[in-house]
Amino acid sequence: MADEHKNFIDGQWQAARSGKVFENRNPANRNDLIGLFPASGADDVEAAVGAARKGFDRWRLVPAPKRGELLYRVGELLRQHKEDLARVETREMGKILKETRGDVQEGIDCAFLNAGEGRRLFGETTPAELPNKFAMSVRVPIGVCALITPWNFPLAIPTWKLFPALICGNTVVLKPAEDTPHTAQKFIEILNEAGVPPGVVNLVHGRGEEVGAALVRHAGVQLVSFTGSAAVGREIASVCGQNLKRVSLEMGGKNAQIVMEDADLDLAVEGALWGAFGTTGQRCTATSRLIVHRDVAQKVTDALVARAQKIKIGDGLDESSDMGPLINQQAREKVLRYIDIGRQEGARLLIGGGVHEAGACAQGYFFQPTIFDRVKPSMRIAREEIFGPVLSILEIQSLEEAIQVLNNTPYGLSSSIYTSDVGRAFRAMRDIEAGITYINGPTIGAEVHLPFGGVKDTGNGHREAGTTVYDIFTEWKSIYVDYSGKLQKAQIDNN
CA-closest candidate to residue 363, choices 17, 14, 32, 8: 32
Report the C-alpha gap between 226 and 41 in whole angstroms.
19
Q: Distance of CA 146 to CAs 226, 247, 292, Å?
A: 8, 10, 42
With beta carbons less than 8 A apart as the criterion, state whether 152 and 279 touch. Answer: yes
Taking the alpha carbons at both ends of the chain, their separation in whole angstroms is 80
Q: Which of 117, 210, 250, 464 is catalytic?
A: 250
SS3 288: strand
Q: Is position 250 annotated as part of the catalytic site?
A: yes
CA distance 256 to 326: 21
The amino acid that residue 11 corresponds to is G
Q: Which of 284, 361, 395, 464 is catalytic?
A: 284
Q: Which amino acid, one-letter code, is at 374?
A: R
Estimate the crossing angle of helix 64-80 against helix 82-93, to 10 degrees. Answer: 70
DSSP lists the bridge partners of residue 393 as 290
Q: What is the CA radius of gyration of the chain?
A: 24
- Give me the helix-helix angle, 181-194 and 64-80, nearest 10°: 120
The DSSP result for 100-137, as a single string, is HHHHHHHHHHHHHHHHHHTT----EEEE-SSTTEEEEE
Which of the residues are catalytic?
250, 284
